[in-house]
Copies of this chain bind each other. A is one copy, B any other.
Amino acid sequence: MDTFNLGDFTLRSGVTLPNASLAYTTFGTLNAARSNAILFPNFLGGAPEALETWIGEGRPLDPAEYFIILPGHFGLLPSSSPSNTPAPFDRGAFPAVHIADDVIAQRRLLSEQFGIDQLELVLGWSVGALQTYEWAVRYPEVVKRVASIAGAPQPSPWTRLWLRSVLEEPLTGDAAYHGGFYPDAQSMQAGVRRMAHGTAVTLPPLGFYREGEEAWKGLGFSSMEDFIIRFWEAFWLPHDPNDIIAQARKARAADPSGGGDLTEALGSIKARTVVVAFTGDPMFPPAECARDAERIPGALYREVVSNFGHLATFALSEADVKTVDGILRDLLAT
């Protein structure tokens, strides 16, 4: 993973983060015309490896054809985050960050590091999709195509409530939290595990755990408890709680209109856009994604009939992967 140093970076909140940085990984080679770049921002808590599963020869995101950049975002290590920022902005004092800050920093990475002024595609899953919408609205002259996958321009009221009560509150309510100045992440482990259980309840689609269905079996887990520990706790435990909170609050505040009229902002999108939703995703339900697509000129809406709902983000099913690959291939061909 590489690091792009942003220097003293003034956030939308007005606070200047000294020595801010954005991590990134690239695949493929930038052509001479700098016209074959794809940007693929990450989701909340996403490791770059989670996105790398979508890249491969013969796949739509083919490194033989495209220069694919996986940029980090604030709050997700090793990009500037509460857990790696020195005082006075360390830990519980890390400033509020916005999706717009991520996208402005990513834009600088592209132009200053690579001289890129045009993107063949910006795509993202979930919180990555929040960033793609910000890209499409903020830099319409840069972005040719957009794919929002299991995402939206902003989280729904339910999803905002979820970010607060399922992600933040088990952490901020932990006895060790102390306004974010806990001695170390280990002391917060019980809270992180409680939070993990909340995600295990709320993220899989209804029926996932049902007797006779037990979808975790097909994923190689020996029991529901095994799935909860080795999938959910294992996913969250490596993350510093302040970092999770920073990302959750950032996602909650996502708004590509910057406090203006969202319908107008979406109406201004020039990119060829596809909005992809998954059956049973409570976070970004098909009905809501279809409505988002209607507000974007010429956007396509596609529902992937899936057994995994929002868990499709983890590329758990070969069928889902094939369907999404097909959608991306069609989009890149237009």
Q: Which residues of A contact B (CB under 8 A)?
A: 156-158, 161-162, 164-166, 169-170, 173-175, 190-191, 194, 197-198, 200-202, 206-211, 214, 224, 228, 282, 285, 287-288
Contact of A173 among B174, B207, B208 (CB under 8 A): B174
Q: Are B288 and A210 in contact (CB under 8 A)?
A: yes
What is the CA–CA distance of A157 and B228 in the complex, to the nearest angstrom?
12
A197–B169 touching, CB < 8 Å: yes
Contact partners of A288 in chain B: CB under 8 A: 210
Give chain B residues whose Cβ lies under 8 Å from the Cβ of A191: 173
How many whole Å from A193's CB to the nearest CB in chain B? 9
**Across the interface, do B209 and A158 meet the contact criterion of CB distance under 8 Å?**
yes
Query: Which residue, A165, A173, A224, has most C-beta atoms of chain B within 10 A?
Result: A165
Identify 19 residue pairs between A and B in the complex whose beta-carbon atoms are under 8 Å apart, listed by A's number. Answer: A156-B209, A157-B209, A158-B206, A161-B197, A161-B200, A161-B228, A165-B197, A165-B201, A166-B198, A166-B201, A169-B170, A170-B173, A173-B173, A173-B190, A173-B194, A175-B175, A198-B198, A206-B285, A207-B285
A165-B224 contact in complex given A170-B173, A173-B191, A190-B173, C-beta closer than 8 Å: no
The 10 closest A-B pairs by CB, nearest first: A175-B175, A165-B197, A157-B209, A158-B209, A169-B194, A173-B194, A165-B201, A162-B201, A161-B201, A157-B224
Complex formed: what's the CA distance from A207 to B156 in Å?
10
Option from B157, B209, B211 in Cβ contact (under 8 Å) with A211: B157
C-alpha spacing A221/B165, complex, angstroms: 20
Chain B residue numbers with a CB within 8 Å of A173 are 170, 173-174, 190-191, 194
Looking across the interface, which residue of chain B has its beta carbon closest to that of A174? B173
Given contacts A158-B210, A165-B194, 5 further A-B contacts (CB under 8 A): A156-B209, A157-B209, A157-B211, A158-B209, A170-B170
CB distance from A185 to the nearest CB of B (A): 16
Given A161-B228, A165-B198, A282 contacting B206 (CB threshold 8 A): yes
Across-interface contacts of A211 in B (CB, < 8 A): 156-157
The reply to whether B194 and A170 contact each other, CB–CB distance below 8 Å, is yes
Partner of A161, one of B165, B190, B224, B282: B224
Chain B residues lying within 8 Å of A169, measured Cβ to Cβ, are 170, 194, 197
The distance from the CB of A214 to the nearest CB of chain B, in whole angstroms, is 8
Residue on B nearest A161 in the bound complex, by CB: B201
* Residues from chain B with Cβ under 8 Å of A157 in the complex: 209-211, 214, 224
Complex CA gap A200/B198 in Å reads 13
